[in-house]
Structure 1
Amino acid sequence: MGDGWGFRLLGPLEVRHGDVLVPVPATKQRVLLAVLALAANEPVTVDRLITCLWGDRPPPSSRNTLQNYVLRLRRTLTVDDEPCPLVTTAAGYHLEADADAIDVHRFRTLLGSARSEVTAGEPESASELLDEALRLWHGDPLSDIPSEVLHREVVPGLVEQRMSAQEQRIDLALRLGRHRELVPDLIALTTEHPLRERMRAQLMLALYRCGRSAEALDVYRQASTVLAEELGIDPGTELQRVYQAVLTNDPDLTITDPVPGVAGLHPVVPRQLPAPIGFFVGRTQELRHLDSQLAAASNSALMVISAIGGTAGIGKTTLAVHWGHHNADRFPDGQLYVNLRGFDPSGAPVPSAAAVRGFLTALGVPAQQIPADSDERVMLYRSQLADRRMLVVLDNARDAEQVRPLLPGVPGCVVLVTSRNQLAGLVAIEGAVPLTLDLLTRDDAHDLLIRRLGVDCVEREQSVVDELIELCARLPLAVNIAAAHAALHPTRPLAALVDELRDAHRRLDTLSTGEAAADVRAVFSWSYRRLTPEAARVFRLLGVHPGSDIGLAAAASLTALDPGLTRRLLDELTRAHLVTERASGRYTFHDLLRAYAADQSHICDTESERQAALRRLCDFYTHTAYTADRILYSHRPPIQLAPPVPGARPEPLADVPTALAWLEAEHANLLAAQHTAAGHAWHLTVWQLAWTLYSFQVRRGRDHDRLAVWQAALEAAAHLPDPAPRILAHRLLGFVYSTLRCHEEGIGHLYQALALAEEHHDTHQQAHTHRGLASSWALRGDNRKAVDHATRNLDLVRTLNEPEWEAGALGTMGWYLAQFGDYDTARAHCHAALALHRQHRNLDGEAENLSSLGYIDHHTGRHRQAVDHYQQALIVYRCLGDISEVAGELDTLGHPYVALGEYERARTVWREALELYRQQGRDQDADRVRRQLDTLNHPDDQQLSGPR
């Protein structure tokens, strides 16, 4: 167990400190310790502890009794001068312990490591890890813990995990050819667990491989009897399959991995390539060229990049996707794909940073761990690709500059880049190998028509087929369009299609290979004309949508249709390959399709219809984002929104996780919607969208986005008759400037807000602006001015009879008095603020004042109390999803740990704070924490400055 605490739960409870056994004789204390150890390092509520101790009928004095049990258990777990691992939290208690020192958590960690080893193709290592995991068991779990709740809710799951691990270990042993040594163990296991059908199947397989077929069949007969008598059922599919295979001496039973996988050990790798084209023809030389590049990648220490170029419609993407699928087995770690929209007619290519973010998400990096800084995001992406064998397809790139951040940093991966440009810079500097596609040969085009239309059709009209191919200029996309038209009209002769294409004007409309918009019009006109009128209208309006993708609810508002009908029409468009539905239920289409849809909207829809669609869309985003913001921070003074226009259906959101998920998914679209609203001079909507994004952007640390939306909001507010939006825009823009350390701009905007508020006698805004000025002056280092503005804020709020605002003002005043060194008065203010915040259930305010009290405790030598206050604040901020404040709280928590000499705990919280600061692009904070960590390496020099 090492020098620290160790806890064993996979059998009778056992507690050790180092090598010394620590007895816990009292039964209730054993239950309490078991519950906390099962949830190690996570808070357990008082209610949960009471339930586990007494079930559904706790005594009236259960809370006081629980406190006594906690006190006694703390005495048991207190050794010398070491801190007790049982810690009080805001909601209850938690046990601080190394997860590997608790056998339950160690067991689960080893199972996860085994899964990774299987994925890496290391079954031997995986088997050893499973053996180690199973050796942790020393009896029935929690066998001496008298808690009906734990034995009902926890023990069955642990037992099933043990059984599953045993089955997984046996699977691996069978794969490794150890069937002979398995037979005795499997006989014992099936005797002990007669209803485990998988173990029966494993025993049959092991016996068969040992040449004992008759015994294997007898195992099946015994299983049939037991299952019928005990459960009244027949053997399941797997057991029947093995039985039939043994009866027929199926050769598959002799392979090294006959059993269908090892349960739970196959994580999904990204497979982002679009579906392959079913009618791919020719390109023999090009495919051979790419094969040679793959061989070069395997035989050299260089990363191989192939730059596939050529005109629009020549088949660049088709070739890349076909080759990628054909060689999928050569890339065991998966494929990444992105359409960079480099030639989008709207002139808005996908930023490299957005593409990297998408790749990180596909690679399994949680959203909260993706850095905000572009360079750090690229470094994380390249780190994720290190030691992986992957295919990266960068489709429709604009230029080399757009591609470079998306290139892996180490050998092992193969990159395919498609572009209408030559990408000469990529060839010259990165060593990309150019591959320029030409038109199809006549034979290949002929083959394509046969594959699409059938031999009989092509031979029947052979006299016009060659002319059709030439009229299509042997351009793959044009030939495919002509073939699709013929397939959709099987009774119409090809000669009629050729007659139509002979008309030069109509042929250019249909098959132009020149300017991009003309090509798009030609490519999609055939499919578009065959849509139902309702689907065609949806398609056109999707071209008006300003974002890169759209969800069902937004599409329903854009089109003013019922969501059920909208989905059916989107399905029709998907079947026609005019839109693509992602796995997440969002819809998108290629940039050329977008241009064609917008073009058709300008032809078929009136300007007022397009304006109305965008108005509905903006109202959908504004009202749904407003709902999300109210869920995130219900204590924020609300604003009044006009009802959404007819046809707009804002999305209902249930809770904080749902609101955060929606805002995360729609954030880019919300920014685009604000930009669209500004372009149409919908000034109030521009301002309101900025307002609705505020809480989310603050909690996610998106300060640069916050700056952009409030700059737009301030411009819009200048056109509004009500001065309040302009005051608020100046105030919040000033605050974000100050957050970004642009102090002159920040304080300037705040004083403009104050002047306007005083001019219009708006006491509420005056109070809030003084609070903002207090913060800004403090960030600039002038605590005297900060206290002056905090005092003015408190005086004004007390005239308004608003207890929640008074709580905020008291907390602000307390914080800046603490900065001034008046700790006693500061503590009184913060306690008063904390009581009011708790009374009104304002978690943000509660966390803020807990943090302030932690600061005061730390600076008055009460370091253990400081740790407690900081930890309580940290719990609340994590619950709120406020990763910006979580970073700051971790930063501050390290200082009392240092003062207490608990350097390893300080390192732990500072490392997490450093990572969060990096992700949020808070470079100055990150640099400071890095210096703090460096200082910890010099115990004699502990002069560490706090973050606030």
Structure 2
Amino acid sequence: MSRNRAAAMPSTGQLAGHQPLPEPLWFTVLGPVRAWRGDAEIDLGAPQQRAVLALLLVRAGQPAGIAEIVDTVWGQDPPATAVNAVHRSIGLLRRALQPELTARDSGRWVVRSAGGYRLDVDADTVDLLRFRRLMTQARTAIADGRPAAAQLAQALELWQGPIADGIGADVRCQPVFTAVEREYLAAARAAADLATATGEIETLLPAVEQAADRAPLDEPLQARLILMLAASGHQAAALDRYQAVRGRLADELGVDPGAELSAARDEVLRPPSPQLPPARAPEPAATVAPAQLPADLSTFIGRESELAEALALHSGDTGAPTTVVIGAIGGMAGIGKTTLAVHWAHRVAHRYPDGQLYVNLRGFGPDAQVMDPGEAIRRILETFEVPPARIPADLDARAALYRSTLAGRRMLILLDNARDTAQVRPLLPGAATCLVLVTSRDRLPGLIASDGAHPITLDLLSTDEARQLLVRRLGADRVAAEPEAVEEMITHCARLPLALAIVAAHAATRPQLSLEALAEELRDTGSRLDLLTTGDAHTDVRAVFSWSYRSLTPPAARLFRLLGLHPGPDISALAAASLAALPARGVQPVLAELERAGLVTEHLHGRYTLHDLLRTYAADLATTDETGEQRRAAVGRTLDHYLHISYGANRVLNPVRTPIALAAPQPEVVLQPPTDYPQAIDWFATEHAVLLASIDHAAAHGFDAAAWQLAWTLTDFQQLRGLFDNEIAAQLVAVAATERLGEVTMRAYAHGRLAYAHTRLGRFDGARTHLDLALDLQRETGDAAGQAYVQLNLGMLAERQGRHTEALGHARQALDLFLLADHRRGQANALSAIGWLHAQLGDDRQARTACRQALAVFQELDDRSGQASTWDSLGYAHHQLGEHAEAINCYQQCLELIRELGDRHGEATALTHLGDTHQAMGAPDLAGKVWQAALEILDDLGHPDAAAVRVRLDG
């Protein structure tokens, strides 16, 4: 056993109350990322896998979403294959932790959870969780007046270096890791404070000194260490430490020591005072124990994870400071910040016997009268019966008196509805025995950065939580009687607690009204906010939203209104700039203001979203405050942004495709198109849902050219990803738009794309209908190449239906037409199809000849997609001839190209064929692994081809 592991891993005897399992696992992340099975260290693989494991470890048994893993491991510039790389890393980690697993097993430790992955661990398995458990035990002991030095020393000794050491500084600097480092420093400061207060310096000095060496610029920790050294009789070492820190501050930061560090030096230099008898403690003043918390709602439901996080903060499980911000990030209007804060406060109020204070700071409200912090302090001081004459007029002096009044008291302070950090900071007590809860629509970044506040993100209720809310207010029988109406009500209220409460109130006051009737009233988006009113400004959705809106500067208010015109579901900063005709650099501060006001959420880096009801509210404002011309111009700029970037990205994906002509974009449109293949794939993947919505949006608002052109730009990406249902939806809009415009050629193209998608999905009747329409239109235009592509599609349809001879006839007709049109790429496509069909008919030698001819043309044109498809056909021909080694080589060539292209359906097809060849060679285990990989892709795509692969695996 290594020395580091011996220091980090608890012995079986240490794990009191737990029976040791055979070959137990032990993970470390407080230092290098390592794992052991019994006494043997596990090879965790490449740094990328270690980074994924490190994130799961610091998540401490909570799930990490795929997007979070990608953002953490790759930062702002992930590769196009990042998601696949995550899945591969998870699979490799699972097999490293449990070598007996097969490729199909998920194993015991890394499990799927909440759309991501979770490491199923506890404090007997991970050093971080053990550290937190020891810190909790120490805090409990301190509160009860029991010794705690040993537990603090054990907790600090678990740290063997910087968090997740060895996985790369760019990953370790992510907030999820730096937050754990702050826990370490907070624990070291707490140990130093305890040592100084109790005299247990020798027990804790080595751990505190080690922490100070790792954080040489942390002045509060260095000051505490200096005092510990002096108190243990090492004045010279204390002064040497001060001089070293002073020099480092000057060299690295260009600053002098702060007040705390200077005070520590002065304390070391101060001569000892003569021993005097202890002064008699003054008689305590009359005790006031206020109990100001609002009533806890009897209908409170859900919020289990947020409440657990909050209670963990209170009990010290995360080592976080006692100042906590609720809803600082996700705290939009009506989300339930106050409800959760009040419920939490009631749950822990008994731990604060000196009282509970509640102040509504009126940061956002109907009268716009924000409470001055000095006025809030005055009211609190009056609660403690401080005479008015003793309350200073100056804010700083008043805040000092407030802190003095609370010194030594165990108080809970709920500061509700704060406007910003400046309003809250004077209300923070100095006593560590106080718990402060703050709610705000503002993110309060200053409070988090400078005052150690811990943000708790409040999101919308889950569907189950929303249903339970209605059950609590309407009764289980009434909700159970109309389940479909209940689901619709939840959807239309967008799971916003305030909206659901209002709808429940409408239903409760009208018991004769069916829930279906109420759901029908909510269906009308235009009048939905009218229904969500109560006559009370504090519980009217539109009024509550307006409090945040009125706080905005004019540029932010305008952008918010225009966001109501965006098709959604989210928007990038550049698209927002185009929407509002703002420069790229000028939009970021405006978005930040909207986020601080709780009106938008940056749910992914650089991408913003609005709650559905906020979107409706914004659209209402746009209708009343923007002219029709202004609204149309904003929609046009947005469509120009998406169309021109999408077109540029498509040209990167498929540079040999016949181009189309676009009108010039409006001058205010911001364009930053992708410049290489991975960027293009990543852009399409990120914007895909927005692009689909934009196609419908364009058609609905009279931008028919943009509608079919956007559909045109999406075809290659959707084919690569196997998104054929999306392709059908887009091309149906394109058919209608081109018909309105009289664009015969592009209408024929759209019918052809519809036929192709229907064929790939096995919907053969629909495919034939669209092919007949496409062929009629192409003949009307006299376009030989267009007719040839329809013939290729007819051949693919016949082949899918098992009519291979008929399919070969269509492919030959296509080749003749392509030769007539002198269309080289089309000729290669036809030759590739002819080769594949010869292989299907058993004429494998002709198949190889045609495929090699096609491959030569595709290589000449640098058409990688065509090359990949032809390598697959050539591999199939070799397989049929029993030339298995040659077949495997062809499939590997195909897979290399296809993975570069990101063609997931094509990858699954090639893997299926590769598995067939391995099976034919007598390697069933290898075939099973390859088929399993294909099945995972097809299942992820929801593709019907999955059934055939599953039969291979089951057979």
With normalisation by structure 2, the TM-score equals: 0.52
Q: Please, which moves more after superposition, 117-126 or 881-890? A: 117-126
CA distance in 2, matches of 1:246, 1:834: 77
Is the contact made by 2:299 and 2:469 (CA closer than 8 Å) also made in structure 1? Answer: no
When the two structures are aligned, how many residues end up with a matched partner?
587
Is the contact made by 2:577 and 2:587 (CA closer than 8 Å) also made in structure 1? Answer: yes
Q: CA deviation at 1:577?
A: 3.2
Q: Does 1:247 align with 2:229?
A: yes
Q: Amino acid of the residue matched to residue 294 of structure 2?
A: G
Q: Amino acid of the residue matched to residue 797 of structure 1?
A: F
CA distance in 2, matches of 1:536, 1:242: 48
Q: How does 1:535-574 map to 2 (within 5 A)?
A: 535-574=556-595
Q: Does 1:286 align with 2:295?
A: no
Q: CA deviation at 1:852?
A: 0.6
Q: Amino acid of the residue matched to residue 665 of structure 2?
A: P
1:846 aligns to what?
867
Describe the SS at the equivalent of 1:719. Answer: helix
Q: Does 1:921 align with 2:903?
A: no
Q: How does 1:63-142 map to 2 (within 5 A)?
A: 120-122=120-122, 124-125=124-125
CA distance in 2, matches of 1:758, 1:550: 42
Q: Does 1:912 align with 2:933?
A: yes
Q: Amino acid of the residue matched to residue 769 of structure 2?
A: G
CA distance in 2, matches of 1:219, 1:726: 74
Q: Amino acid of the residue matched to residue 762 of structure 1?
A: D
2:651 aligns to what?
630
Q: Amino acid of the residue matched to residue 789 of structure 1?
A: H
1:318 aligns to what?
337
Q: CA deviation at 1:782?
A: 1.0
Specify whether residues 527 and 120 from structure 1 end up closer, same or farther in structure 2 by C-alpha distance, changes over 3 A only: closer
Instruction: Give the superposed CA RMSD.
Output: 5.6
Q: CA deviation at 1:532?
A: 3.2
CA distance in 2, matches of 1:789, 1:513: 67
2:784 aligns to what?
763
Is the contact made by 2:651 and 2:657 (CA closer than 8 Å) also made in structure 1? Answer: yes
Is the contact made by 2:720 and 2:904 (CA closer than 8 Å) also made in structure 1? Answer: yes
Q: CA deviation at 1:120?
A: 4.5
Specify whether residues 104 and 609 from structure 1 end up closer, same or farther in structure 2 by C-alpha distance, changes over 3 A only: same
CA distance in 2, matches of 1:418, 1:778: 55
1:449 aligns to what?
none
Q: CA deviation at 1:571?
A: 2.5
Q: How does 1:810-821 map to 2 (within 5 A)?
A: 810-821=831-842
Specify whether residues 243 and 702 from structure 1 end up closer, same or farther in structure 2 by C-alpha distance, changes over 3 A only: same
Is the contact made by 1:851 and 1:870 (CA closer than 8 Å) also made in structure 2? Answer: yes
CA distance in 1, matches of 2:472, 2:705: 41
CA distance in 2, matches of 1:39, 1:510: 56
CA distance in 2, matches of 1:676, 1:596: 18
CA distance in 2, matches of 1:541, 1:720: 28
Work out which of the residue numbers 601, 607, 622 in structure 1 matches 2:628: 607
Q: CA deviation at 1:888?
A: 1.1
Q: CA deviation at 1:636?
A: 2.1
Q: Does 1:871 align with 2:900?
A: no
1:620 aligns to what?
641
1:590 aligns to what?
611
Is the contact made by 1:393 and 1:417 (CA closer than 8 Å) also made in structure 2? Answer: no
Is the contact made by 1:847 and 1:876 (CA closer than 8 Å) also made in structure 2? Answer: yes
1:366 aligns to what?
none
Is the contact made by 1:854 and 1:866 (CA closer than 8 Å) also made in structure 2? Answer: yes
Q: CA deviation at 1:645?
A: 2.4
Is the contact made by 2:293 and 2:342 (CA closer than 8 Å) also made in structure 1? Answer: no
CA distance in 2, matches of 1:741, 1:528: 50
C-alpha distance after superposition, 1:482-528 (max 9, x if no partner): xxxxxxxxxxxxxxxxxxxxxxxxxx999952599994443344543
C-alpha distance after superposition, 1:329-351 (max 9, x if no partner): 9xxxxxxxxxxxxxxxxxxxxxx
Q: CA deviation at 1:692?
A: 1.1
Q: Does 1:932 align with 2:949?
A: no
Q: Does 1:896 align with 2:917?
A: yes
Q: How does 1:11-410 map to 2 (within 5 A)?
A: 120-122=120-122, 124-125=124-125, 175=154, 213=202, 247=229, 282-286=294-298, 317-318=336-337, 321-322=340-341, 395=460, 403=463
C-alpha distance after superposition, 1:450-492 (max 9, x if no partner): xxxxxxxxxxxxxxxxxxxxxxxx99xxxxxxxxxxxxxxxxx
CA distance in 2, matches of 1:720, 1:886: 38
C-alpha distance after superposition, 1:68-92 (max 9, x if no partner): xxxxxxxxxxxxxxxxxxxxxxxxx
Specify whether residues 293 and 694 from structure 1 end up closer, same or farther in structure 2 by C-alpha distance, changes over 3 A only: closer
C-alpha distance after superposition, 1:642-695 (max 9, x if no partner): 111232223321323322222222222212211111112322211111111111
CA distance in 2, matches of 1:292, 1:650: 43
Is the contact made by 1:510 and 1:525 (CA closer than 8 Å) also made in structure 2? Answer: no
Q: Amino acid of the residue matched to residue 841 of structure 2?
A: F
C-alpha distance after superposition, 1:128-166 (max 9, x if no partner): 9xxxxxxxxxxxxxxxxxxxxxxxxxxxxxxxxxxxxxx
Is the contact made by 2:652 and 2:676 (CA closer than 8 Å) also made in structure 1? Answer: yes
Q: How does 1:647-726 map to 2 (within 5 A)?
A: 647-726=668-747
Is the contact made by 1:763 and 1:796 (CA closer than 8 Å) also made in structure 2? Answer: yes
Is the contact made by 2:724 and 2:761 (CA closer than 8 Å) also made in structure 1? Answer: yes
Describe the SS at the equivalent of 2:608. Answer: strand
Specify whether residues 318 and 824 from structure 1 end up closer, same or farther in structure 2 by C-alpha distance, changes over 3 A only: same
Q: Amino acid of the residue matched to residue 927 of structure 1?
A: A
1:69 aligns to what?
none
Q: CA deviation at 1:321?
A: 4.6
CA distance in 1, matches of 2:602, 2:896: 38
Is the contact made by 1:578 and 1:589 (CA closer than 8 Å) also made in structure 2? Answer: yes
Is the contact made by 1:619 and 1:645 (CA closer than 8 Å) also made in structure 2? Answer: yes
Specify whether residues 328 and 764 from structure 1 end up closer, same or farther in structure 2 by C-alpha distance, changes over 3 A only: farther
Task: Could you tell me which runs of 5 or more consecutive residues in structure 2 were left unpaired when the two chains were aligned.
Answer: 1-43, 50-90, 112-116, 129-149, 162-180, 233-291, 309-331, 349-455, 488-500, 503-528
CA distance in 2, matches of 1:219, 1:564: 45
Describe the SS at the equivalent of 1:718. Answer: helix
Specify whether residues 220 and 597 from structure 1 end up closer, same or farther in structure 2 by C-alpha distance, changes over 3 A only: closer
Q: CA deviation at 1:620?
A: 1.2
Specify whether residues 101 and 928 from structure 1 end up closer, same or farther in structure 2 by C-alpha distance, changes over 3 A only: closer
Q: Amino acid of the residue matched to residue 925 of structure 1?
A: D
Q: CA deviation at 1:322?
A: 3.6
C-alpha distance after superposition, 1:196-215 (max 9, x if no partner): xx9xx999x9xx9xx99599
Is the contact made by 1:730 and 1:749 (CA closer than 8 Å) also made in structure 2? Answer: yes
Specify whether residues 218 and 103 from structure 1 end up closer, same or farther in structure 2 by C-alpha distance, changes over 3 A only: closer
Q: CA deviation at 1:220?
A: 7.2
Specify whether residues 680 and 824 from structure 1 end up closer, same or farther in structure 2 by C-alpha distance, changes over 3 A only: same
Is the contact made by 1:707 and 1:737 (CA closer than 8 Å) also made in structure 2? Answer: yes
Q: Amino acid of the residue matched to residue 905 of structure 1?
A: L
Describe the SS at the equivalent of 1:581. Answer: strand
CA distance in 1, matches of 2:848, 2:925: 29
Is the contact made by 2:774 and 2:790 (CA closer than 8 Å) also made in structure 1? Answer: yes
Describe the SS at the equivalent of 1:805. Answer: helix
CA distance in 2, matches of 1:556, 1:640: 25
2:902 aligns to what?
881
Q: Amino acid of the residue matched to residue 282 of structure 1?
A: P
Specify whether residues 114 and 896 from structure 1 end up closer, same or farther in structure 2 by C-alpha distance, changes over 3 A only: closer
1:385 aligns to what?
none
Is the contact made by 1:520 and 1:596 (CA closer than 8 Å) also made in structure 2? Answer: no
Task: Could you tell me which runs of 5 or more consecutive residues in structure 1 were left unpaired when the two chains were aligned.
Answer: 1-36, 43-97, 129-170, 183-197, 228-232, 251-279, 297-312, 330-390, 398-402, 408-413, 435-473, 476-507, 936-948
Describe the SS at the equivalent of 1:582. Answer: strand
Q: CA deviation at 1:103?
A: 10
Is the contact made by 2:537 and 2:544 (CA closer than 8 Å) also made in structure 1? Answer: no
